A and B are shown apart, each in its own frame.
Chain A
Amino acid sequence: MSSVSYGSKNLVIDNGSYEIKMGYMGEKLPITVPNCIVRSKDRKVYIGDQLNYLSDVSQVQIRRPFEKGQLTSWELEKHIWDYSLVEKLRVNNDLGNFNDTNLILTETPFSLPQLSKNCDQIVFEEYNFNSYYRTPVASLIPWNIKSNRLLLNDDGPIDKPYDDFQLIVDSGFNCTWVIPVIYGVVYWKGVKKLAIGGRLLSGYLRELISFRYYDVTDETLLVNNIKEKSCFVAQDYNQTISDMINLKNSKKNTDSNLMVEYVLPDFKTTTTGYILTKEMKKQKTASELENLLVLKLYDERISTPELLIHPEIAQLKKKGLTSTIIDSIQSSPELARPLLAANIILIGGNFKIPGFKERILKNLKENLPDFYNTRIGLDKEKCTTYGWESGCKLFENKDIGFNKVCITKEEYLEHGVNWCAKRFNFNY
């Protein structure tokens, strides 16, 4: 391997089904581009983050290259990659010529082998990357050891490049994965899936609002905004929900933390809508307040994220996140179980909703054995870009990290595409 020359630039692409996180090693934050094309009401088609600049986002329709978490449509994905590379990342070279660039690309666990193969071929034959490593995002997380220790409040000495035992909970747009990573390698037998992701949470909120207040069935982006801005996780669900219902039925105009007023967009002053805070109320005159179209949200705020922990409230016959995590720990080797429980890291966009960490910790402590020192780490600000950051750490430890696992273009040309499958795909 010593004769192999690696490129000078290092690119990490966390190719999520909701948004792409892309950036060179050394940068502080990656660029984020929604992984979709949208069609607006006037039937024009826009790509990626152009939708943020649209003046009217009502009734937009969205198409994504992903189906159920699987990257099926490369004809679409290549457009979005090209757009992100040229317009957002401002790469200087020709798009078909990444000869001096090494790439880490993430994929969903248990990808369909044919789709992974397509992915390898595009990377090497279309973009001509120098070397390449394809992996589930969870396997990168242990390399971010300093941040992990900080999140877990662990001040022990850091004398190794990565942590040996880590349980990653990745709650994304499509679904939620629970992935044990042991000695830097995914322990495939312990990988568990919960088919509830951000899309379903939005779908449930859409149904609740449409059933109770206004018809928002076509307003995908609006519902998503409402979810992001108003939801939180209740620590004591039963108590909070009865408080909320009582408040709702009392019909008093009291200011309470339990209720929020969401101003719906009028497409003149606001296109996305916002939450009406007390300070804003004071500033506005009575007539201004009357003209606002306001949506009062009570129990929807907590029942939407609660779906992840208790799917039965939407009549779904599934086990919740707590059970899935416990199941994953139980499916792992017995000696590793306490270690996994003590090193849980939460990543993915759903955990931006406040209160998840405390609630999951509480649930897990109730259900795991007493002598487990259960710890959970979550960086709410960075939970979507955490995987990208960890990818950069794998590049930083090049000699023991990236160079050992990657496939170079020469190797690809010599061994063919099946070599990639042999090296990167899961072995069950």
Chain B
Amino acid sequence: MSFIEEIPKGYKTSLYYSSLYGGTGAKKPFYGDDSQKENAKSFGGRNSRYQQVVNYDVAVLEANAHGQNNNDGSTAEMKATRKSNKRLLELDRENYNEHQLAKIEVPKEGFDYFGNSSKNLNVMNKSGRRFKLGSTPNTKRILSSKKNLNNYLDEDTSNILKIWANLETRDNTNQINAVPELKTCSICGNNSSYTCVRCGTRFCSIKCGDTHNETRCSNYAV
């Protein structure tokens, strides 16, 4: 019989649950600290033997279950990665308001080609050719499908996603960590020596720090 017991807050923030093995009856969990050992012994009374305790990190368990544990497993690092990915999505798009827009569709009658000699929009002539939707069953299927990348990824049976996940260089590969990180102010771009205590973003002066607090700091509450 095994028990799972919640660890009181304040020990290690990344550990949430602890399970106890091999004992009968309730036992005081052992926190891995020598000074706690004495307490555990005195508390149990009935069985003062050292108990094997496994500490679980819920975030790591979840990540493992979904096969996304690329990091060393610490939650702080995962949080930082998630933040970075969010930032990447924010910057890496061509139309800024992409999510609000209806998709741009191909006109039903096809495109107007401009006249061969003319570069003026007003004198373009209609091509007259209707766009044909494929000449064989295969190409008909391809040309009429409205699938996007996510649809294709859902159908994918190869291990391409695993390959994609390992293409980018990470800290802990065979890496020479000699390229030092730049420390620049997130507001004005200057070299900076301070970081925001709430969110870890860099700024260079009190002025920039104030601007940061007013506009961008994600954890700032007035």
Contacts and interface: CB of A to CB of B under 8 A. Distances in A.
A303 B202 CA distance: 15
A63 B139 contact: no
Contact of A217 (B97, B103, B186, B188): B97
Given A192-B167, A318-B168, A206 B96 contact: yes
5 contacts: A38-B104, A70-B149, A122-B139, A126-B143, A195-B88
Interface of A: 37-39, 45-47, 50, 53-55, 61-64, 67-68, 70, 72-76, 78-79, 82-83, 86-87, 96, 110, 112-115, 118, 121-122, 125-126, 191-195, 199-200, 202-204, 206-208, 211, 217-218, 220, 237-238, 241-242, 245, 299-300, 303, 306, 310, 312-320, 322-324, 326-327, 330-331, 363, 366-367, 417, 428
B166 to A, nearest CB: 10
A67 B186 contact: no
Nearest to A303: B189
A220 B148 CA distance: 23
B206 interface: no
Interface stretch (B1-9, B23-31, B43-51, B110-118): B110-118
A327 B146 CA distance: 38
Interface in B177-208: 178-179, 181-182, 184, 186, 188-191, 201
Interface residues of B, number: 72
Given A72-B152, A316-B88, A327 B106 contact: no
B81 A110 contact: no
A53 B120 CA distance: 7
Contact of B106 (A45, A238, A326): A45
Contacts, number: 207
Given A96-B135, A114-B152, A75 B146 contact: yes
Nearest to B149: A67
Contacts of B139: 121-122, 125-126
B222 interface: no
Contact of B179 (A204, A217, A367): A367
Interface of B: 80-81, 83-84, 87-88, 90-97, 101, 103-107, 110-111, 113-114, 116, 119-121, 127, 131, 134-136, 138-139, 142-149, 152-153, 155-156, 158, 160, 163-164, 167-171, 173-176, 178-179, 181-182, 184, 186, 188-191, 201, 215
A300 B188 CA distance: 9
Given A72-B147, A367-B179, A318 B84 contact: yes
A168 to B, nearest CB: 15
Contacts of B148: 67, 72-73
Most interface-central of B169, B184, B189 (chain A CB within 10 A): B169
Contact of B175 (A53, A76, A126, A319): A319
Given A46-B111, A110-B160, A126-B134, 13 more contacts: A53-B121, A63-B103, A75-B106, A79-B106, A82-B131, A126-B135, A242-B190, A245-B188, A310-B181, A315-B201, A319-B169, A319-B171, A326-B176
B184 A313 contact: yes
B168 A194 contact: yes
A89 B215 CA distance: 50
A326 B81 contact: no
A121 B143 CA distance: 11
A122 to B, nearest CB: 6
A83 B94 CA distance: 23
B182 to A, nearest CB: 4
A54 B87 contact: no
Contacts of A39: 104
Contact of A312 (B90, B107, B181, B191): B181
